[in-house]
Structure 1
Amino acid sequence: MSVRAFFQVAKVENAASPYDTIHLKVFYPAQRSASPQEQDMGIVPADEGRSPFKVVIFFNGINCGPEIYQWLTVKLAECGLVVVTFAWVAQNLPGIVALTPGVELKNLAPNTYGTAPTASALPTLLAALERLQSEGVLAGLLDLDHIILGGHSAGGRVAIESADPRFFSQVVGAFAYGAHTAAIVQLGYPPNTILPLPDALPLMLIGGTCDGVIAKSSHRYGVDWEHATTPITRSFQEAIAGNRGDSYLLLLEGANHFSIAHPFDSTTGRPFLDFPATQPEEQLRNLIAEAINLFIDAHVRHQLKALETLNRYSVSDNPLIAAFERK
């Protein structure tokens, strides 16, 4: 099976021009047909035998181009998923133009947090998926009742904070790499506060023991983290009540903040804060992709074998697994 992708453009309601346009790249399982349309335009049909396709929407980190996650989106599409990445240049902060996952800052404030989603791009992306269901190579092939949110860094945070059926009934789970729910003191929170997650759907939090970006950003939260993974661990322990057996914490030995990025781009974002990775990068990426795929297969596709394999991480002798918890 091959993986193909196409591009789309969507307008964001209530966003001011010129910051009201999102560019999407949609990856899907494809099946070559040798049709004139394929030969002349490069439009390859979807592999309809694997449909309806469950959908992953992936939120990039701030100033992290979506192309650095393409290795992961291809691996997910190879497993029969449709995956959407996007690029949105906007002003999350007045006067600061950035490539953003879309962060609704007003919904992070103490008086509004938990009452509305923090992923400001999500309504636009969901509307774009509805259009794809009605026209083009994916028409009629999407399972829009099973959408998974995922992301990296700030994008991971808005993914896990917005995975709430009260906001979006079609979202069924979420995962994040290098993300946590520590509260920013500049928004009015007391130091060392961990904000709660919706805790209504399956969640997976993944982090690396060498995450220098998290370690060196602790001043934003009014605390010095004991370990680079402390806010991720605390988010799992304190922000999720659990008890359903579908929430996970996976810490990767030697992974850093950008172990999920390949090829690595040192020109944007804050990679200068990161610690060096101490384990082979390709092996770390393979484990990240494997864990995410198992999580989706276990809790969205309800495959018992995937659930059993995922749970064996807790007794694994894999040197790349620093910690694994489930609740």
Structure 2
Amino acid sequence: MNIRSFFQAAKVEDSSAPYDTIHLRIFYPSQMSGSQQEQNLGIVPADSAQAPFEVVIFFNGVNCTPDLYQWLAFKLAQRGLVVVTFSWVAENIPGMIGLTPGVDLKYLASDTYGSAPTASALPTLLKTLEQIQSNSILAGLLNLERIILGGHSAGGRVAIESAATQFFPQVVASFAYAAHTAGAIQLGYQPGTICPLPDTLPLMLIGGTCDGVIAKSSDRYGVVWEEATTPIRRTLEEGFKGGNNNGYLVLLEGANHFSITYPFDSTTARPFLDFPATQPEDQLRDLIAQTIGLFIDAHVRALPSAFEALDRLLASDNPLIASWMRK
């Protein structure tokens, strides 16, 4: 299968220049046509036989460039999905300029949490997708009623917090790697607080047993985590009501905070806090992509074989799966 991508830019309402522009990259399954447009401009048509395409919007970690997730976007597009990554340089926190997934801090505070989505980039991304649906190589080929939110670290947090039908009725599921919903004491929370998640949509949380970034950031939450994966585990156990067997927690043996990124980038973000991965990272990435892909196939596309395949994968004797649970 051929996978292609194209680029788009969008203005963010209520943001000030020069920090008011998001740059998107959209990955899609394609079908070579041999047309002059293809030959001269590199514009390759989508494989319309697979349409309509469900859409994954992926939120990067703070100061993690979207290219670090291109490998995952490629693998998900191979499953017949359209995947959107984006780059937004703005203020992560007041006075700190960087690459942000778009975090609305005012709705992370203890007195406002849950009243609005924390993913500040999402309204712009959804509006841009509507434009792409109207006028682009993917015109008329997107299923904008079935959008999946995913992300890494802080980007994963805003993805799972914003996947609520009362905020965005077109969002149908979410997933995150190395993300949790512990409340920072600076935002008014008591030590060790786990904030609740929307609990009506399918959710997949994935974490690594060697996540040094989470382990070494526990002071933000007024505690010392028992294990690097403790806040991720507690997010599903305490923050997600469950009861529909569509909430998953998968902990990967030997994976660290940046096992979802490739290639490794030591120049930005906080990889210096991380523990070394103790398992082959290419195998960890393959397992991450397979788990996410089967989760989407099962709980968004409702493919019967995917439910069985996901259960079989998680219940296998794979040494890379430290533990898993569903609720």
In which range does the TM-score fall when normalised by the shorter chain? over 0.9
Q: Does 1:164 align with 2:170?
A: no
Are the counterparts in 2 of residues 8 and 24 from structure 1 also a CA contact under 8 Å? yes
Partner of 1:297: 297
- 1:119 Cα deviation from its structure 2 partner: 0.1
Provide, for residues 164-204 of structure 1, a one-character-per-residue CA deviation record: whole Å limited to 9, x for no partner.
00000000000000000000000111101000001110000
**What is aligned with 2:319?**
319
Root-mean-square deviation (CA, aligned residues, Å) is: 0.6
Work out the CA distance in 1 between the residues paired with 2:274 and 2:314.
27
C-alpha separation between the residues in 1 aligned to 2:290 and 2:315? 16
What is the rounded CA distance, in whole Å, between the counterparts of 1:63 and 1:322 in structure 2?
Answer: 29
Deviations 1:20-57 (A, max 9, x none): 00000000000000100000000000000000000000
Match of 1:108 in 2: 108
Paired residue type of 1:127: K
How do 1:92-171 and structure 2 match up within 5 A? 92-171=92-171
Distance 1:313 1:24 in 2: 33
Q: Give the partner amino acid of 1:311.
A: D
Identity value in percent: 69
Tell me, in whole angstroms, the C-alpha distance in 1 between the residues paired with 2:77 and 2:315.
29
Q: Aligned with 2:324: secondary structure? A: strand
Structure 1 residue aligned with 2:7: 7
Deviation at 1:314, TM superposition (A): 4.4
CA distance in 2, matches of 1:189, 1:136: 45
Letter in 2 for 1:321: I
Q: Which residue of the partner structure matches residue 68 of structure 1? A: 68
Deviations, residues 106-138 of structure 1 (Å, cap 9, x unaligned):
001111101100000000000000000001100
- Residue in structure 2 matched with residue 179 of structure 1 by the alignment: 179
Aligned to 1:227: 227
Question: Contact 2:92/2:99 (CA < 8 Å) preserved in 1?
Answer: no
Query: 1:288 maps to what in 2?
Result: 288
Alignment of 1:79-94 (within 5 A): 79-94=79-94
Q: What TM-score comes out, normalization by structure 2 length?
A: 0.99
2-side partners of 1:25 and 1:100: how far apart? Answer: 15
SS in 2 for 1:283: helix
| Cα deviation, residue 311, structure 1 | 1.5
How many residue pairs are counted as aligned between the two chains? 327
Paired position in structure 1 for 2:188: 188
Q: Secondary structure at 1:124's aligned position in 2? A: helix
Within a 5 Å distance, the mapping from 1:11-90 to structure 2 comes to 11-90=11-90
Secondary structure of 2:266 counterpart: coil
Which residue matches 1:197?
197
Inter-partner Cα distance in structure 1 for 2:61 and 2:314: 28
Query: What does the per-residue CA deviation read over 1:2-28, in whole Å, with 9 as the maximum and x for residues that have no partner?
Result: 000000000000001110000000000
Aligned mates of 1:30, 1:77 — CA distance in 2:
10
1:257-276 alignment, distance < 5 Å: 257-276=257-276
Q: Distance in 1 between matches of 2:316 and 2:276?
A: 25
Rounded to whole Å, the distance in 1 between the matches of 2:126 and 2:314 is: 35
Q: Is the CA contact 2:56–2:148 (under 8 Å) kept in the aligned structure 1?
A: yes
Match of 1:236 in 2: 236
Query: Is contact 1:313–1:324 with CA below 8 Å preserved after alignment?
Result: no
Contact preservation (8 Å) 2:256, 2:274: yes
Tell me the secondary structure at the aligned position of residue 73 of structure 1: helix
Q: Spell out structure 1 runs of 4+ moving beyond 6 A.
A: none
Query: CA contact under 8 A between 1:185 and 1:220: conserved in structure 2?
Result: yes
Q: Which amino acid aligns with 2:226?
A: E
- What TM-score, normalized to structure 1? 0.99
Whole-angstrom distance in 2 between the partners of 1:94 and 1:153 = 20
